[in-house]
Amino acid sequence: MQMPEPNPDILARKAELVARLRKVLPRDSVIEDPVETRAYECDALTAYKCPPLAVLLPASTREVAEALAICHEIGVPVVPRGAGTSLAGGALPTADSVILGVARMTEVLETDYDNRFIRVQTGRTNLSVTGAVEEEGFFYAPDPSSQLACAIAGNIAMNSGGAHCLKYGVTTNNLMGVTMVLMDGTVVELGGAHLDAAGYDLLGLVCGSEGQLGVVTEATLRILRKPEGARPVLIGFDSSEVAGACVSDIIKAGVLPVAIEFMDRPCIRATEDFAHAGYPDCEALLIVEVEGSDPEIDEQLGLIEAIARRHDPVELRQSRSEEESAAIWKGRKSAFGAMGQIGDYMCLDGTIPVSALPHVLGRIGEMSREFGLDVANVFHAGDGNMHPLILFDANKPGDLETCETFGAEILKLCVEVGGCLTGEHGVGIEKRDLMAHQYGADDLSAQMDVKDVFDPKWLLNPAKVFPLDVSGARRAA
Amino acid sequence: MTPETEAELATIIKKAEGPLRIEGGGTRPIGGASNGARLSTSSMAGIELYEPGALTLVVRAGTPVSEIEAALEAEGQRLAFEPMDHRGLLDTDGTPTIGGVVAANVSGPRRVQAGACRDFLLGVRFVDGQGRIVRNGGRVMKNVTGYDMVKLMAGSYGTLGVLTEVALKVLPRPRATGVLLCEGLDDATAIQVLCRALGSPYEVSGAAHLQRGLDGAPVTMIRLEGFADSVAYRAGEMQKLLADSGTFTLETDPDRTAADWRYIRDVEPFHGRAGAVWRLSVKPTDAPGIVAALPGAEAVYDWGGGLVWLLMPEGTGGTEIRETVAQRGGHATRVRGAGTDAFPPLAAPVAALQAGLRQRFDPRGILNPGLMAEA
């Protein structure tokens, strides 16, 4: 992965930078010791590492603004960091950059059940947002699988999704407002406790901008009342084509499940060996979950069952209790852990039109044989967001590179059939060099125009999202 | 000018020597028409792709909304954000287009549950003020590839570019609709009731309050949609939940429930009546206080109070309304009535960002000049 050469002038000014930052931040909020900064050398994309110049852990919007103003003046690149769980390298530092982490900003600022929102500092974890409101029967809907650890700041940066977004939408659909600090230290408020901000939808633009437009320090999030209940049905099929057709029929029938999860045979086998969830040994397995009161759930599951029966399932198991629901979800929830037991894996995140599912799965199988690497598929079938897991051996020379090439081919295939490179993980550095496969020159230049307006010096989260050759002239300007 | 292709449109914009007034069906002249040469998207029309099983629709911007609704209806689907038809309120005729809906981010009563137009917009193609043809987003439900300019384009009133094609997520039409109606509640009580309804687990898809219903008395309305048994069950639970505030009767006749919500969606109480019409987006519990602070205002509350339509005596200054809203948070747009300040003013740093974007995408300032607040 190519990264820009560190700026020697910035490296030489480290002492001055640290001294100035210490004037506005408490002593323990500025980390410069090379042993301690190593802890921030990567995020969850661990194949790439680079310790930053320093790490800042401010405690308030004011401290963030003062720190950014100093970095802006000196010309130091800043890499915003939530909890460091990005799978795309979204928080990977450069050697001449400062990490600005929001980990100490975890307060709940306001909770309003009448108007159904919560305002938090963005270092708070996704799950603890729900934790703050669940006693009153409410929850925060986006549920990325890293939700125990990941921060709202990162969720906003990547516009995170989750298993339940088929019904509830992703982060951008549940974000009502932000307090954001621009690179020069200016604080802006976008949106709030009302719906649909005045002026351009800058809130929508900022969400998913991968920390390149500003540092979001506070967020107003929509909270929802928990449904009365939820139960899944597990359906096994002899072919993934048939499973795909079943998904399409369920959607067309007017049922709106909260989740439709899909696993293929390699994934089913791996999870069975690991979690013993009692899944059938078949080509494709769907877990479809619906919500409501008990009779409402029965009605919806009955309808789904009737649709599924028309596709000759090899197994159909409707949950009747919490225990049965937990058993059905057990394998799916341990899928990533199970794959990790087998070996190293790379998790992809392309989205495809649901109608292209059988074709894409078929092509992935063929490519798997060509590249000599196994693939297991587990994904959110309702919205076409795929997570192929490519297995490789990190200790075998060349295997990672083969895996990356294979992964890139799968993502190109996603684009080819009308989909996209990333559905919920973000571009980061991982998919940066593939951007030109999805977008033409004018499409990318329009996006970079936005970057120019918010961060004219291109200091925020450098070397991400846009291919370096495409952004070179603007970065140098 | 009515280009038939995107390329033709790009040439027109590149060669334009003065301001352009961009128009879909011309039914939503919010903020007043700018004085440029008329540029209509109405000849770039037609459905490009519709996959009911994938809930996706790709259409050219000039496609009439009615054509889209008919195509969706045939498959038992719909545009869930329930776009308003402005013709009655603004006394316009013409054919509303999907490009106009997106450009103004037009969303109806279901916005409170399902989301706004921008939440259903999956992708856009547009020609910006430099004549660049730009594509952003796509046709899939989940897409975080690059910056989300799809949202930026929704509600930008053609000031950044002229939309040529939009991709939308559609949803199944529910089998049944039930509307709970209660007469006689005052504004404050009604909004409290709607907050409780929206905070319940019964999936409210519409929550409105009229100060004057058809027979003159105030009416509070709660909509439930889904399978028939489920609607009946939730209506029963809701009646129990709200029993201490008033008696809610259930209406399930499909024609009548549809008419009830069209009445709210299109703000029918204000059709054909004199006065300026304002649209306020506020925190729901602030809404009754704001209305009470404005003498002479008549209100229709939608989105559980989060959206307030105000009919104001002609000549009421915008300043008074905006100051009242600003004290509590939110914004106000004048949708009908004279004046140059239809769009809400923005805080300085936000206005600077907006002006910066406009400068980038329309450096000559030719796209709908005068629309949206300028710095």
Prediction ipTM score: 0.97
**B136 closest CA partner among B156, B121, B158:** B121
Overall average pLDDT of the A178-202 stretch: 96
Alpha-carbon A147 to chain mean position: 10
Among A residues 175-204, those touching chain B with beta carbons less than 8 Å apart: 182, 186-190, 192-204
User: What residue in A sits closest to B116 (Cα-Cα)?
Assistant: A196
Overall average pLDDT of the A22-49 stretch: 95
Say how far apart CA B240 and CA B289 lie, in whole Å.
Answer: 28
Overall average pLDDT of the B248-271 stretch: 97
pLDDT for the residue A333: 83
Among A residues 25-84, those touching chain B with beta carbons less than 8 Å apart: none
Cβ-defined contact of A256 to B343 (cutoff 8 Å): no
Does residue A1 lie in a domain region? no
Give the DSSP letter string of B3-71.
-SSHHHHHHHHHH--S-EEEESSS---TT---SSEEEE-TTS--EEEEEGGGTEEEEETT-BHHHHHHH
Strands A78-81 and A98-101: parallel
Alpha carbon of A158: minimum distance to chain B alpha carbons (Å): 7
- Judged against a pLDDT cut of 50, whether residue B63 lies above it is answered with yes
Say how far apart CA A219 and CA A208 lie, in whole Å.
Answer: 14
Cβ-defined contact of B349 to A158 (cutoff 8 Å): no
Cβ-defined contact of A443 to B233 (cutoff 8 Å): no
Quickly list H helices, A280-434: 294-309, 322-333, 335-342, 357-371, 399-416
Alpha carbon of B91: minimum distance to chain A alpha carbons (Å): 25
Cβ-defined contact of B227 to A385 (cutoff 8 Å): no
Q: Are residues A243 and A329 in the same domain?
A: yes
Pick the more confident residue, B269 or B317: B269
Residue B277 and residue B337 in contact, taking contact as beta carbons nearer than 8 Å: yes
pLDDT band at B374 (very low <50, low <70, confident <90, very high): low
Overall average pLDDT of the A84-100 stretch: 96
Q: Are residues A250 and A316 in the same domain?
A: yes
Overall average pLDDT of the A260-279 stretch: 91
Please determine, looking at this structure, whether the domain spanning B6-172 carries the CATH number 3.30.465.10. Answer: yes
Residue A400, Cβ density class (10 Å: 0-12 exposed, 13-18 middle, ≥19 buried): middle
Does residue A377 lie in a domain region? yes
CATH of the domain at A17: 3.30.43.10
Does residue A155 lie in a domain region? yes
Q: Right CATH number for B176-265 from 3.30.70.2190, 3.40.30.10, 3.30.470.20, 3.65.10.10? A: 3.30.70.2190
- The answer to whether B240 faces chain A, any CB pair under 8 Å, is no
- To 5 degrees, how large is the angle CA A234–CA A239–CA A243? 45
Cβ-defined contact of B54 to A251 (cutoff 8 Å): yes
Cβ-defined contact of A446 to B132 (cutoff 8 Å): yes
Q: Are residues A325 and A350 in the same domain?
A: no
Helix (H, G, I), strand (E, B) or coil at A360: helix
Say how far apart CA B361 and CA B159 lie, in whole Å.
Answer: 8
Residue-wise pLDDT tens digits, A96-150? 999 999 999 999 999 999 999 999 999 999 999 999 999 999 999 999 988 999 9
- Judged against a pLDDT cut of 80, whether residue B373 lies above it is answered with no
What's the helix, strand, coil split of chain B in %, to 5? 35, 25, 40
Cβ-defined contact of B145 to A173 (cutoff 8 Å): no
**A100 closest CA partner among A472, A477, A466, A459:** A459
Residues of chain A neighbouring B373 (CB-CB closer than 8 A):
198-199
Alpha carbon of B99: minimum distance to chain A alpha carbons (Å): 16
pLDDT for the residue A335: 84
Residues of chain A neighbouring B135 (CB-CB closer than 8 A):
439-440, 443
Say how far apart CA A445 and CA A451 lie, in whole Å.
Answer: 10
Which residue from A115, A248, A292 is facing B53, i.e. has the nearest CB? A248
Among A residues 428-467, those touching chain B with beta carbons less than 8 Å apart: 431, 435, 438-440, 442-447, 449-454, 465
* Neighbouring residues of B300: CB distance < 8 A, sequence distance ≥ 6: B208, B209, B210, B211, B264, B267, B269, B270, B308, B309
Give me the residues paired with residue A344 across strands. Answer: A392
Cβ-defined contact of B147 to A418 (cutoff 8 Å): no
- Judged against a pLDDT cut of 90, whether residue A343 lies above it is answered with no
Say how far apart CA B242 and CA A284 lie, in whole Å.
Answer: 46
pLDDT band at A255 (very low <50, low <70, confident <90, very high): confident
pLDDT band at A355 (very low <50, low <70, confident <90, very high): confident
pLDDT for the residue A433: 96
Residues of chain B neighbouring A163 (CB-CB closer than 8 A):
none
Q: What percent of chain A has pLDDT over 90?
A: 84
Residue spans in chain B of domains classed CATH 3.30.70.2190: 176-265
Chain mean pLDDT for chain B: 95
Cβ-defined contact of B139 to A418 (cutoff 8 Å): yes
Q: Are residues A154 and A49 in the same domain?
A: no
- The answer to whether B143 faces chain A, any CB pair under 8 Å, is yes
Q: Are residues A123 and A186 in the same domain?
A: yes
> How many domains are there within chain A?
5
The encoded tokens of residue B180 equal: 């709970």
Among A residues 286-345, those touching chain B with beta carbons less than 8 Å apart: 292-293, 295-296, 299-300
Helix (H, G, I), strand (E, B) or coil at A329: helix
- Judged against a pLDDT cut of 80, whether residue B315 lies above it is answered with no
* Neighbouring residues of A5: CB distance < 8 A, sequence distance ≥ 6: none
Alpha-carbon A406 to chain mean position: 21
Q: What percent of chain B has pLDDT over 90?
A: 91
Cβ-defined contact of A419 to B140 (cutoff 8 Å): yes
- The answer to whether B355 faces chain A, any CB pair under 8 Å, is no
Q: Are residues A352 and A403 in the same domain?
A: yes
Alpha carbon of B80: minimum distance to chain A alpha carbons (Å): 13
Question: Amino acid identity of B29?
Answer: P
User: What residue in B sits closest to A251 (Cα-Cα)?
Assistant: B53
Overall average pLDDT of the B125-136 stretch: 98
Residue B183, Cβ density class (10 Å: 0-12 exposed, 13-18 middle, ≥19 buried): middle
pLDDT for the residue A252: 84
Residue length, chain A? 477
pLDDT band at A38 (very low <50, low <70, confident <90, very high): very high
CATH of the domain at A209: 3.30.465.10
Among B residues 181-220, those touching chain A with beta carbons less than 8 Å apart: 192, 195, 198-201
pLDDT for the residue B375: 42
Q: Are residues A296 and A383 in the same domain?
A: no
Of A69, A101, A133, the one marking the end of a domain is: A101
- Judged against a pLDDT cut of 70, whether residue B47 lies above it is answered with yes
Give me the residues paired with residue A187 across strands. Answer: A181
Among B residues 144-163, those touching chain A with beta carbons less than 8 Å apart: 144-152, 154-156, 160
Residues of chain A neighbouring B283 (CB-CB closer than 8 A):
112, 115, 192-194
pLDDT band at B33 (very low <50, low <70, confident <90, very high): low
User: How many angstroms separate the first and last alpha carbons of chain A?
Assistant: 23
- Judged against a pLDDT cut of 80, whether residue B218 lies above it is answered with yes
A-B contacts (CB, under 8 Å): 260
CA atoms within 13 A on the CB side of B259: 7
Q: Are residues A389 and A286 in the same domain?
A: no
Residue-wise pLDDT tens digits, B192-215? 999 999 999 999 999 999 999 888
Q: Right CATH number for B268-336 from 3.10.450.40, 3.30.70.100, 3.30.70.3000, 3.40.50.1860? A: 3.30.70.100
Which residue from B154, B230, B307 is facing A296, i.e. has the nearest CB? B230
Cβ-defined contact of A196 to B116 (cutoff 8 Å): yes
Does residue A3 lie in a domain region? no
- For residue A448, the enclosing domain spans 433-476
pLDDT for the residue A197: 83
Residues of chain B neighbouring A205 (CB-CB closer than 8 A):
147-149, 151-152
Q: Are residues A412 and A350 in the same domain?
A: yes
> Which of B56, B78, B143 has the highest number of chain A CBs within 10 A, making it the mutation to test binding with A?
B143
Cβ-defined contact of B119 to A418 (cutoff 8 Å): no
Residue-wise pLDDT tens digits, A395-435? 999 999 999 999 999 999 999 999 999 999 999 999 999 99
Does residue A2 lie in a domain region? no
Question: Amino acid identity of A126?
Answer: N
Among B residues 251-280, those touching chain A with beta carbons less than 8 Å apart: none
Alpha carbon of A269: minimum distance to chain B alpha carbons (Å): 28
Give the DSSP letter string of A421-453.
S-SSS--TTTTGGGHHHHS-HHHHHHHHHHHHH
CATH of the domain at A275: 3.30.70.3450
